[in-house]
């Protein structure tokens, strides 16, 4: 089993937004980043402070002015070159992602491909989205109204540990295309993925002060970012999202967040059960279930529940699990001892309260310090922790139901609303079910990849699963302020000079009402 060389980490470490550290690494404390597969040290990373954030934001604010004045076509050229860098360095990027997270090679590749397609999407669409738009003026022919898009300024990105490359890079790409600068705090345990994104952006021609990475704790660095930027993008837990949302509200700045989920899959009696069983391994266990949009609940019509349970159990039991920087393993490791303890506790609690283990259900220290088997549960009672709370690990519960209506009701019976999956007898039936689900994305005939990979469509959560959207037009326009420029020509609103003021005022109401007869009114 190979891993990235120390030289790679040394080069990336020198990109942190702490100039004094680059001049003198002994100038501040550092922390050790370990390879998840083995627990062995990978590299040291400096610990940022609130002062570092203040300095980074000041540099970003100064650089953003000139960046915003460049044409959108010029800005998105950086995104195009970034996409080229992603393709050129994809193997090394997957190595870094795997080393920091312990995920399988296929899950790491998802991150790389998301960076690629998102960069290309916004490189293609941003100029049109940001172009001034003529809208209907107050008085036809006399009032010219144009909507322009102004960048927010400095965007703060607080990125998670579970998808630390693409969720550091892609949110920033949209913000940069819109004319903003970005200051990012990566998760404390996965800083080198964000630094790898920075490396590619700099190589693509982005001025360094426009994308700065400040590693450090959430309380110190994350709090300082939330307290100083002009817009905040966060991906992480619902609890932390609520805290940051309150802070953004106090400052009256924009806030977007993708938060937790307890995502459901619905399987109807007419579904192709073999297809379900195959797709489920990815829907359930991509990144060992440490994915906000992965499935943790399955509702299946009772008439086919025994067949589906048999097929799912066999497929899960056959999954290949283990470490390795290749595509052999279907599932890798959990990322931390905290995650392993949470997963273990959820399964033990469910079993103690009457649940049955159909597959998996135990740690695998023989594979590495943080491995846990892909786990399938049945008969999970409502008082079990994993019944309603997000496990965020490789644990899925199956619930037979009497009807599709019951499946929809139970899928919606949660505070969350991030993602869902539907397998039905036909696309039409699946899409009809999708329309009744309260989630930001619904995948018909898939688990999560179809919705996630359709970057032209918005992605995000309802309820406690988030605020705002990434991807799609909304994923870029949220980083802008809409400005209406209205130019009044020929006659001002005081009326023509040849009419007395009083007569003009009496004519205003009927004239305004008559405008309903004009096209577009």
Residue among 282, 280, 240, 259 nearest 103 (CA): 282
Supply the CATH number for residue 195's domain: 3.40.605.10
Residue among 468, 402, 462, 466 nearest 437 (CA): 462
Residues 73 and 196 in one domain: yes
Q: Are the C-beta atoms of 374 and 394 separated by less than 8 Å?
A: yes
Does any domain span residue 488? no
Contacts of 509 (CB under 8 A, 6+ apart): none
What is the count of structural domains for the chain? 2
Residues 297 and 391 in one domain: yes
Q: In sequence order, what DSSP letters do the residues of 465-499 get, joined into one string?
A: GEES-BSHHHHHHTTEEEEEEEEE-SS-TT--TTS
User: Dihedral angle at the C-alpha atoms of 225, 229, 234, 240, nearest 10 degrees?
Assistant: 50
Q: Decide the pairing of beta strands 466-467 and 356-359.
A: unpaired
Q: What is the pLDDT of residue 494?
A: 73
Residues 286 and 390 in one domain: yes
Contacts of 497 (CB under 8 A, 6+ apart): none
Residues annotated as catalytic (active site), given as ranges: 258, 292
Q: What is the pLDDT of residue 510?
A: 83
Q: Are the C-beta atoms of 443 and 423 separated by less than 8 Å?
A: no
E-strand stretches of 129-251? 133-135, 143-151, 154-158, 181-185, 211-213, 231-235
Residues 302 and 361 in one domain: yes
User: Rounded to 5 degrees, what are φ and ψ at 471?
Assistant: 65, 170
Residues 330 and 244 in one domain: no
Q: Are the C-beta atoms of 385 and 345 separated by less than 8 Å?
A: yes
Q: What is the pLDDT of residue 521?
A: 61
Q: What is the pLDDT of residue 502?
A: 83
Q: In sequence order, what DSSP letters do the residues of 14-51 get, joined into one string?
A: TTSS-HHHHH-GGGS-EEEEE-TTT--EEEEEEPP-HH
- Can you give the residue range of the structural domain that contains 171? 47-259+473-480
Q: Report the run of H or E that residue 55 belongs to, with start and end.
A: helix 50-69
Does any domain span residue 102? yes
Does any domain span residue 36? no
Residues 252 and 270 in one domain: no
Q: What is the pLDDT tens value at each position of the chain, 521 positions in all? A: 677 888 899 999 999 999 988 888 888 899 999 999 999 999 999 999 999 999 999 999 999 999 999 999 999 999 999 999 999 999 999 999 999 999 999 999 999 999 999 999 999 999 999 999 999 988 888 889 999 999 999 999 999 999 999 999 999 999 999 999 999 999 999 999 999 999 999 999 999 999 999 999 999 999 999 999 999 999 999 999 999 999 999 999 999 999 999 999 999 999 999 999 999 999 999 999 999 999 999 999 999 999 999 999 999 999 999 999 999 999 999 999 999 999 999 999 999 999 999 999 999 999 999 999 999 999 999 999 999 999 999 999 999 999 999 999 999 999 999 999 999 999 999 999 999 999 999 999 999 999 999 999 999 999 999 999 999 999 999 999 999 999 998 777 777 777 888 887 887 778 777 777 777 66
Q: What is the pTM of this model?
A: 0.95
E-strand stretches of 123-282? 133-135, 143-151, 154-158, 181-185, 211-213, 231-235, 254-258, 263-267
Contacts of 261 (CB under 8 A, 6+ apart): 292, 293, 390, 416, 417, 418, 419, 461, 465
Residues 150 and 247 in one domain: yes
E-strand stretches of 245-291? 254-258, 263-267
Q: What is the pLDDT of residue 438?
A: 98
Residues 202 and 302 in one domain: no
Residues 245 and 330 in one domain: no
CA separation for the pair 263, 45 (Å, rounded):
35
> CA torsion sign, 339 to 340 to 341 to 345?
positive
DSSP state of 229: -
DSSP state of 5: -
Q: Which two tokens stand for residue 277?
A: 């069983």
Burial class (CB in 10 A: 0-12, 13-18, 19+), 338: exposed
Residues 287 and 194 in one domain: no
Q: Under DSSP, is residue 182 helix (H, G, I), strand (E, B) or coil? A: strand
CA separation for the pair 306, 115 (Å, rounded):
40
């Amino acid at each position: 089993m190979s891993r990235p060389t120390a030289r790679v980490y040394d080069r990336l470490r020198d990109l942190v937004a702490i100039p004094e550290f680059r001049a003198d690494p002994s100038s501040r404390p550092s922390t050790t980043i370990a390879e998840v597969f083995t627990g062995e040290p990978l590299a040291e990373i400096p610990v940022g402070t609130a002062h570092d954030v203040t300095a980074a934001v000041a540099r970003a604010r100064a650089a953003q002015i000139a960046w915003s004045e460049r044409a959108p076509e010029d800005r998105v050229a950086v995104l195009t070159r970034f996409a080229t860098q992603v393709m050129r360095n994809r193997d090394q990027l997957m190595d870094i992602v795997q080393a920091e997270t312990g995920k399988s090679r296929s899950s790491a590749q998802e991150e790389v491909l998301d960076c690629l397609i998102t960069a290309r999407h916004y490189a293609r669409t941003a100029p049109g989205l940001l172009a001034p738009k003529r809208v209907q003026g107050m008085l036809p022919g006399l009032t010219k109204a144009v909507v322009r898009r102004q960048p927010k300024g400095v965007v703060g990105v607080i990125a998670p540990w579970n998808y630390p490359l693409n969720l550091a890079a892609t949110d920033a790409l949209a913000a940069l295309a819109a004319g903003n600068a970005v200051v990012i705090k990566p998760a404390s345990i996965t800083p080198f993925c964000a630094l790898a994104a920075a490396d590619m952006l700099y190589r693509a021609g982005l001025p360094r002060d426009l994308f700065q990475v400040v590693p450090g704790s959430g309380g110190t660095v994350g709090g300082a970012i939330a307290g100083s930027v002009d817009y905040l993008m966060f991906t992480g837990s619902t609890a932390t999202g609520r805290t940051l949302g309150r802070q953004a509200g106090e400052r009256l700045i924009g806030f977007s967040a993708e938060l937790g989920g307890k995502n459901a899959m619905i399987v109807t009696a007419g579904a192709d059960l073999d297809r379900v069983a195959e797709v489920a391994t990815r829907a359930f266990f991509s990144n060992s279930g440490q994915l906000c949009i992965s499935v943790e609940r399955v509702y299946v019509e009772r008439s086919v529940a025994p067949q589906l349970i048999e097929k799912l159990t066999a497929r899960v039991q056959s999954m290949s699990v283990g470490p390795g920087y290749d595509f052999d393993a279907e599932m890798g490791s959990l990322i931390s001892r905290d995650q392993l303890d949470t997963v273990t506790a959820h399964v033990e609690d469910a079993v103690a309260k009457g649940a049955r283990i159909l597959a998996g259900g135990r740690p695998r220290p023989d594979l590495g310090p943080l491995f846990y088997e892909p786990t399938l549960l049945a008969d999970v009672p409502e008082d079990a922790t994993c019944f309603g709370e997000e496990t965020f690990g490789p644990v899925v519960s199956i619930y037979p139901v009497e009807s599709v209506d019951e499946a929809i009701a139970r899928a919606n019976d949660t505070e969350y609303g991030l993602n869902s999956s539907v397998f039905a007898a036909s696309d039409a039936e699946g899409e009809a079910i999708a329309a009744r689900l309260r989630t930001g994305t619904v995948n018909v005939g898939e688990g999560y990849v179809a919705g996630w990979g359709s970057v032209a469509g918005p992605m995000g959560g309802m309820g406690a699963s988030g605020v705002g959207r990434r991807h799609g037009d909304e994923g870029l326009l949220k980083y802008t302020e809409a400005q209406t420029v209205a130019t009044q020509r020929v006659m001002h609103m005081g009326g023509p000079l040849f009419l007395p003021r009083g007569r003009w005022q009496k004519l205003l109401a009927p004239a305004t009402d008559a405008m309903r007869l004009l096209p577009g009114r």
